[in-house]
Amino acid sequence: MSRNRIRNTLLAAAITLGGLSGAALPATSASAATGVICAQYGSTVQGNYYVQNNRWGTSATQCINVTSNGFQITQQDGVSTGGAPVSYPSIFDGCHYTLCSPGMPSPRQISGLGSVNSSISYSYVSSGKYDAAYDIWMDPTPKTNGVNQTEIMIWFNHTSGVQPVGSATGTVSIDGRNWTVWTGNNGGNNVVSYVAPAAIASWSFAVHPFLQDTINRGYGTSAWYLTSVQAGFEPWSGGVGLAVNSFSVTP
């Protein structure tokens, strides 16, 4: 997630749960296209996308190095003691808390989307406690600020001891892969999470089947709007070296 909508109440309710990548304050204005960002909510335009540091859950330092195709965590001193992750550094396409990327400058109604394809490549590390999450946000209105009503999380990888919001409520096969589906609410929005049985390092896939499956489960309709898609990490501790090597979205 990414916005400071949770503070004390949601943080207390989110013990041992992921799905908080929308819990930060408005990001700072865009800076250089590449280079190191250590500002708590620092961000920069990267081609068609935005990269954000989004250290929403800790006062400890976190820095990311923005590359030409993604970013890497170079310092992450925070340690979660309340159960929720400490941040969600990510790259995104779309509108997210007043920031709208050049590639998708406004939300798009799901019924008129057609094919939306995405490609992502991650690098993982053996130390730390984290998940690698691809987020899809949808809302009944073409919202460009604030919390969306439904968050879809695709967990490409996670270490032991962390789990999505809610509980496991089913399984589904999408694009030739099997997923365990978790559903719940983090106190600010509904969360539908698709957890891979084993780590996925890279994947090119269609976004729409995840939207449709979420709609079929009652967490939205085709009249709703896709507001953004994001790829990043939710660290509970550690995570230096985690990287998004490449990211693309083709509407």
At residue 212 the predicted structure's pLDDT band, cuts being 50, 70 and 90, is very high
Residue positions annotated with a catalytic role: 151, 234
Q: What is the tens place of the pLDDT at every residue in 82-99?
A: 778 999 999 999 999 999
141 versus 8: which is more confidently predicted? 141
At residue 21 the predicted structure's pLDDT band, cuts being 50, 70 and 90, is low
Q: What average pLDDT does this structure show over 27-42?
A: 73
Query: What's the pLDDT score for residue 251?
Result: 75
**Half-sphere CA count of 114, side-chain side, radius 13 A:** 2
Output phi, psi for 236, to 5 deg. Answer: -95, -35
At residue 18 the predicted structure's pLDDT band, cuts being 50, 70 and 90, is low
pLDDT more than 90, % of the chain:
82
Q: Is the pLDDT of residue 229 over 60?
A: yes
pLDDT more than 70, % of the chain:
87
User: 38 in helix, strand or coil?
Assistant: coil
Q: What average pLDDT does this structure show over 155-178?
A: 96
Q: What average pLDDT does this structure show over 195-202?
A: 98
Structure tokens at 115: 């094919």
Q: Is the pLDDT of residue 114 over 80?
A: yes
Q: Is the pLDDT of residue 26 over 70?
A: no
| CATH number assigned to the domain covering 7-250 | 2.60.120.180
At residue 22 the predicted structure's pLDDT band, cuts being 50, 70 and 90, is low
Instruction: Kindly report the average pLDDT of the chain as a whole number.
Output: 89
**DSSP per-residue string spanning 128-187:** SEEEEEEEEEEESS--SSS--SEEEEEEEEE-TT-B-SSEEEEEEEETTEEEEEEEEE-S
Q: Where are the domains of the chain?
A: 7-250
Q: Is the pLDDT of residue 201 over 70?
A: yes
